[in-house]
Amino acid sequence: MTRYSRYIPTDFAERTSDYTRSNDRFGGMDSYFAHDDDGKAIAMANIATYRPTDSTVMRTYDPNTATETAIADGQRAHDTNLEDHPSWHEGLTRPALSGEQLVMFGHNHTPARSGVHELYARDTLAGKTAAMTLMGMADMASTVTTGRPLKPSSSLSAHSMALVDKLHQSGAISDEDMPDPSSMNDDNGITFHYANRQLDGHPYNNQLKSQDLTSRIPLARARIREAMGRGPKAQARPEQLKFEGFE
């Protein structure tokens, strides 16, 4: 029977559950594992959670003239499109257009968010199925702790690209959360051979402290079925999940 768990680093021992936000101001990292009966890791997911941030800027800097001016003294509007204009030099504001509301300072709020940092699976049905179950567990935790689903990594292997694209098509990943199109065309080169080396370094007996996640298996798999656009499992049929390979 596959064992599912979350590794608890000794320096974060007080954070006994992934449903609790880390006290680290930069967020925290949750490592989810699936081990087989022999204690060999067959899947692993590292999930990074970033705490919400707020920033307020009272002055704007002009790099062309190397001068600073108070935002309140200029005809400035709040820059609401920070992805295209991530400009600290502009003080989180931009020159106002005619008729726009003027602002006295720039303000930016970034909500808490969890995203996939690393995901590895062995090139077996058990490994791939376990990795998808880990994703279901991590997505459940992300929704509870941040109020938003898990965000995919922007660094993807060819196999992961296919999976992310399939989840996007099913509606499980929003347009907003999809990686930049240019990164979707750039395979990061990670192979199952590399994944095996990573997993070999995490046998079950190395987990000095861990949280047992066995009770989450049914809900996690139900979440994955829903994300893949499938209905609930028929009670009379045995479950046999088949997903495209990824690492």
What is the DSSP secondary-structure string of the chain? --EEEEE--GGGTT---TTS--SSTT-EEEEEEEE-TTS-EEEEEEEEEE--EEEEE-EEEETTTTEEEEGGGS-EEE---TTT---GGGTTEEEPPTTPPP-SSEEEEE--EEEEEEEEE-SSHHHHHHHHHHHHHHHHHHHHHHSSPPBPPSS--HHHHHHHHHHHHTTSS-TTTSPPHHHHTS-----HHHHHHHHHT--GGG-SSEEE-GGGHHHHHHHHHHHTT--PPPTTS----------
Indicate the pTM of the whole model.
0.77
For residue 74, the enclosing domain spans 53-110
Dump pLDDT digits (tens) for 155-178: 788 778 888 888 888 888 888 888
139 and 211 share one domain: yes
pLDDT band of 222, cuts 50, 70, 90: very high
68 and 33 share one domain: no
What is the residue whose two structure tokens read 């009379």? 236
Nearest to 156 by CA among 167, 143, 172: 167
106 and 126 share one domain: no
Distance (Å, whole) CA 230 – CA 179: 24
Phi, psi of 197 (to 5 degrees): -65, -40
Is 234 domain-assigned?
no
152 and 202 share one domain: yes
Phi, psi of 8 (to 5 degrees): -110, 105
132 and 186 share one domain: yes
150 and 171 share one domain: yes
CB-hemisphere CA count at 13 Å for 181? 1
Residue 143 has pLDDT above 50, yes or no: yes
Is 241 domain-assigned?
no
Residue 4 has pLDDT above 70, yes or no: yes
For residue 47 the two structure tokens come to 């999930």
pLDDT band of 21, cuts 50, 70, 90: confident
7 and 69 share one domain: no
146 and 186 share one domain: yes
Helix (H, G, I), strand (E, B) or coil at 82: coil
pLDDT greater at residue 179 or residue 102: 102
For residue 44 the two structure tokens come to 């692993």
Tell me what percent of the residues of the chain surpass a pLDDT of 90. Answer: 34
Is 25 domain-assigned?
yes
Examine the fold and report which residue of 110, 129, 156 is the final residue of a domain before the chain moves on.
Answer: 110
Is 237 domain-assigned?
no
Examine the fold and report which residue of 83, 110, 137 is the final residue of a domain before the chain moves on.
Answer: 110
Q: How many domains does the chain have?
A: 2
57 and 143 share one domain: no
Task: Please provide the average confidence, as pLDDT, over all residues in the chain.
Answer: 82
Is 137 domain-assigned?
yes
Q: Give me the amino acid identity at 240.
A: Q
For residue 57 the two structure tokens come to 């800027």
98 and 141 share one domain: no
Helix (H, G, I), strand (E, B) or coil at 158: helix
